[in-house]
Amino acid sequence: MLYPYIHYQQTSCAQAIKNWESKNNGVKAEDAIEIKLCCQIPPIAKMDPKPLIALKNCEILSLSTNTIDRMVSLSGMTKLRVLSLGRNNIKKLEKLDEVASSLEQLWISYNQISSLDGIASLVNLHTLYMSNNAIKSFGELAYLVRLLVITSVTIMKKYIRFLLK
């Protein structure tokens, strides 16, 4: 940290959702299909499960370009198809079991993820964007073999196309 004596503020998920509602003519976030909470100022540093799981109708959730370092359970978000967490500080893929049956796209490029462990439960995942992470071993690609419907993967700045049909 550059200036340890300065307290950096952060935006909570609850506040970001309130801001989203006010920018969207009072549309209730719990009724919305797509919610973009990208690039908040100050950034979201923590995924708060309570306000996020209230988004029961959300199919596309974007929390990209914040400072989130850890994923949380998204139980109750049974309609979630696209989860975008690119450009954060996430180190580990975790707590995806609650959305495993509905998630079709996972966008997690520009994080600090070093392993694909935790992705195998995503049975309907067809698109994975995760370039510019900390994957160092091609052995990590073995986790993708379990994903039977995967058709598009971006890893390590290279485009790799999988056709498993």
- The answer to the question of residue 132 being in a domain is yes
Q: What is the tens place of the pLDDT at every residue in 105-155?
A: 999 999 999 999 989 899 999 999 999 998 878 788 889 888 989 999 888
- pLDDT band for 95, please (50, 70, 90 cuts): very high
* Cβ atoms of residues 98 and 73 within 8 Å: yes
**pLDDT band at residue 157 under the 50/70/90 scheme:** low
For residue 97, the model assigns a pLDDT of 94
117 falls within a domain: yes
This prediction has a pTM of 0.90
In terms of residue numbers, what domain contains 26? 13-161
6 falls within a domain: no
Q: How far apart are CA 80 and CA 99, in angstroms?
A: 7
- Tally the domains of the chain: 1
pLDDT digits (tens, 9 = 90+) for 49-63: 999 999 999 999 999
Strands (E), 37-77: 60-62
Sign, CA torsion 67/69/74/79: positive
Flag whether 120 is in a domain: yes
The CATH number assigned to the domain holding 21 equals: 3.80.10.10
pLDDT at site 37: 98
* E strand spans, 56-100: 60-62, 82-84
Instruction: State the pLDDT at residue 7.
Output: 55
Secondary structure of residue 89 in the 3-state scheme: coil
Cα 7 to Cα 84: distance, rounded to the nearest angstrom: 28
Position 4 in a domain: no
pLDDT in tens, 65-88: 999 999 999 999 999 999 999 999
> Considering the domain boundaries, does residue 99 fall inside one?
yes
2 assigned to some structural domain:
no
Per cent of the chain over pLDDT 90 is: 74
Within a domain: 1: no
